[in-house]
Structure 1
């Protein structure tokens, strides 16, 4: 049962709840709960039973994945370009030195919110929103940032917060 995502409402809610989520991240970093990965993974499953990425696609509309060289080479091949041409047309180096998209929304996002290069998409897209990974404690800062982008991550933090407010 998927619910439709109201991105405007989500944007307001995620910004207003960000300070609470930031405090939660700090509490989790300090307390280092042993079951954090299992909790994230369970809530990840529950969130994605309710939220359909194709209904939302906010990540593709507002942010860029990091492109590693293998992503660049693979997509250049798909477009029958040299890697250097692909980089020149679609990417730039950000302040961290990572290759990211020049534009948002993603140029490979279709009008129906489907990825036009889905089978060949970057590793970062394949793994997004990273809430089912091991060592969630190590990527809490990234996950916190993603509460502003992904309704599922926002929901996960909200649910974990209920547990830690007790």
Structure 2
């Protein structure tokens, strides 16, 4: 998958996408949640995350206390030891990875802690949310990282503007 090409396209279309999403927020169609879910499913039927894993290579998730407890238990570590080994506190006081790419990303783009991965990883790129317009800033940011997020915005824009 040509992640760089997607990023170039996303940068070119950023203003157009921002305008489209801003209009969605102002006047969301009645069936928006349905269209969002349908489009999310179509995109992920086409795009295989394992061929990319750009999110795991370039951005780190936030780790909640529940994530830390669950993952450290899975790794048979004390939560404090897990935090010391893998995490740091950022300027927003969020717990994030010390380094990228993610420690748990395997060579074949699989995740060594997939069953217990952080909530932020499970939900990324957040394209199946209800009231998607509540996270427009995040959606735009994710189009630069995730080919599926870019494809999602492109498709949803075509569907909604057709009506």
Answer yes or no: same fold by TM over 0.5: yes
Report if the CA contact (8 A) 2:22-2:133 is conserved. Answer: no
Segments of structure 1 that go 5 or more residues without pairing to the other structure are none
How many residues were matched structurally? 162
Tell me which of 50, 53, 57 is aligned to 2:53.
Answer: 57
Shift of 1:165: 4.7
Please say if 1:132 is aligned against 2:125.
Answer: no
1:33-112 alignment runs, 5 A limit: 33-112=29-108
Segments of structure 2 that go 5 or more residues without pairing to the other structure are none
Distance across 2 between alignment mates of 1:132 and 1:162: 17
Distance across 2 between alignment mates of 1:17 and 1:102: 32
Tell me which of 144, 149, 152 is aligned to 1:148.
Answer: 144
Please say if 1:159 is aligned against 2:150.
Answer: no
Report if the CA contact (8 A) 1:24-1:161 is conserved. Answer: yes
Shift of 1:163: 3.9
Distance across 1 between alignment mates of 2:47 and 2:53: 11
Shift of 1:95: 2.6
SS of structure 2 residue aligned to 1:132: coil
Report if the CA contact (8 A) 2:88-2:98 is conserved. Answer: yes
Report if the CA contact (8 A) 2:72-2:78 is conserved. Answer: yes
Please say if 1:32 is aligned against 2:25.
Answer: no
Report if the CA contact (8 A) 1:93-1:100 is conserved. Answer: yes
Report if the CA contact (8 A) 1:91-1:99 is conserved. Answer: yes
Please say if 1:122 is aligned against 2:112.
Answer: no
Distance across 2 between alignment mates of 1:20 and 1:62: 24
The runs of 4+ residues in structure 1 deviating greater than 3 Å are 163-166
- TM-score calculated relative to the size of structure 1: 0.90
Tell me which of 4, 8, 22 is aligned to 2:4.
Answer: 8
